[in-house]
Structure 1
Amino acid sequence: MIGRSVIAVLASTMALSGCMTETRYNQAQELVRGSPALKRDAIERCYAGSNRSTPARKAEMARIMNVSPRSDVARIYCTRAFNAIASGRISYQDFRDRSPRFIRAIQGR
């Protein structure tokens, strides 16, 4: 299914901060906007990748996101990011550049 492959690319990109085209981002955005099941799948795939981060990276992300280092940092990051993508709060450019808008989204603001 094309949806799952686009979601897989976006989720792995979220986790690994790799390269993604604007077209693929827009496809994934429409998919997660229109399908709660695909959004859950995307969050799970992102989480699987992000959860492999080093403890130092997780502590850094916890500080950026204003959450406790003892919390499930990877899950919070992925959930907040995909909710912002699905709602249209962050654009491809925000995602790619890790703009202030993206930072606010992962901070839950």
Structure 2
Amino acid sequence: MISMRAALACATVVVLSGCVSQASYDTSREALRGSPALRTDFINNCVSNISRKSLAQRQAMAKLMNTSVRNTPSVYCRRVTNGITSGRMTRDDMNAAARGQVTPAAVRVLQGR
């Protein structure tokens, strides 16, 4: 059985570094689906990381997501988490984003559509 700390670490890798195996992605997705506490920790960790991005990066993200720069970290992290857990954001979408290539599916998720 996977521990909560290991699941969080695995899930964090999915979003923040990309280029993960399908098995790791699937494990992370299932862990996030099944644990509200893990989702909360994941979102909090994500918000912390996104908040450290440059102002220019956060402004671009805010524009894409139709939100304010101030709300960008929390909106981004909630939408990505929901996209992962719902299956609307695939491992391929995440890996493409890690390479700087945003897919149409990722745009829909980030825009809350």
TM-score, structure 1 normalization: 0.85
User: Residues 19 and 93 from structure 1, CA distance in 2 versus in 1: closer, same or farther, beyond 3 angstroms?
Assistant: closer
CA–CA distance in structure 1, aligned partners of residues 14 and 51 of structure 2: 14
Report the alpha carbon displacement of residue 100 of structure 1 after superposing the two structures with TM.
Answer: 0.7
CA–CA distance in structure 1, aligned partners of residues 39 and 31 of structure 2: 8
**How large is the RMSD of aligned CA atoms in angstroms?**
1.8
| Unmatched 5+ stretches in structure 1 | none
CA–CA distance in structure 2, aligned partners of residues 62 and 55 of structure 1: 10
| Unmatched 5+ stretches in structure 2 | 97-101
TM-score, structure 2 normalization: 0.82
- After superposing on structure 2, the runs of 4+ consecutive aligned residues of structure 1 that deviate more than 4 Å are none
CA–CA distance in structure 2, aligned partners of residues 92 and 19 of structure 1: 8
Alpha-carbon contact 1:84-1:105 (below 8 Å) kept: yes
Identity percentage of aligned residues = 36
Report the alpha carbon displacement of residue 8 of structure 1 after superposing the two structures with TM.
Answer: 2.2
